Chain A
Amino acid sequence: MDYVRYIDKTREYYAGEGYAKPYRWAHFDDIPFTPLPKPLAQCRVGLVTTSEVAVLGEPGPWDDEGDAARDAYALPTATPTEKLYTKKEAFDRYETTLDDVESYLPIARLREYADQARIRDLAPRFQVVYSQYSQRKTMEVDAPKILRQMREDGVDVAVLTAV
């Protein structure tokens, strides 16, 4: 069976739920492309995720109810994986789970590749970006913040995971 066309599926689904105006997914005619600047083994890798990951026992990055303009944030990559969790609800909850962080935030898997010298190392922070209502906010606020923080961390290449 071919892959799911989510743009068509969601349009039909939300029309059936009574939403008149279909969501306009971002679309561009051009695709920016930067070649790898040096051997991967010399590159520091930075992770970016939409998984809304937080640290157990610490205040969440966002107020669950009230924080409408959820800004991107960063967490230490050295946080033990077993202390990371997510309350993200936008995934296929009938088929799978988000209980294994490595299935969407591969810190341990990338660390293994660093141990094998496939990459140099992992950046000290990973970046979390919320799937915004506003494409403008993602482009004008969140993405520049992520870029700035990755430059501060000396990131050479970025691995992004869309949950």
Chain B
Amino acid sequence: MALAARHLEANGIPTVVFGCARDIVEHCGVARFVFSDFPLGNPTGKPWDVSMQRAIVGQGLDLLESARAPITVTTPHRWGPDETWKVKCFTKERPFLSVDATEKWLRRKEAYRTLKSGGDV
């Protein structure tokens, strides 16, 4: 996603990226980033929380107008009082992908390598 944003910026389209993985987006580097400190999945607000979604999207629109150089802003919202999800994610207790999804991912990755080695991608 950050790579696509960079390509658009480099070709004259201003961008704002919404995301929850701050280190990954900043490691790549994008022009305008609205960071929500949430579990991965809902970069524009909690499901069915319309007022939060409206506020977060509005913060991104503000940033399109105000930014003069690359910048990250953090939304003021918290996921909840319990932040143990930050410790639990990507652990054996909570594997990121299910067994099925992992196998599918690995099969597609291998198929992609085959296409690549054949010069098809």
Contact = CB atoms under 8 A, between A and B. Distances in A.
A79 interface: no
Interface of B: 1-25, 27-31, 35, 37-48, 50, 53-54, 57-58, 60-61, 64-65, 67-70, 79, 83, 85-86, 88-92, 94, 96-98, 101, 104, 107-109, 111-112, 114-116, 120-121
Interface of A: 1, 3-10, 12-13, 16, 25-28, 30-37, 40, 43, 46, 48, 50, 64-69, 89-100, 102-106, 109-110, 112-113, 118-119, 129, 131, 133-135, 137-139, 141-144, 146-147, 150, 155-163
A155 B73 CA distance: 24
B21 to A, nearest CB: 5
Contacts, number: 253
Given A67-B108, A157-B13, A159-B16, 10 more contacts: A4-B23, A10-B96, A32-B10, A96-B41, A102-B45, A139-B7, A143-B6, A160-B5, A161-B19, A162-B19
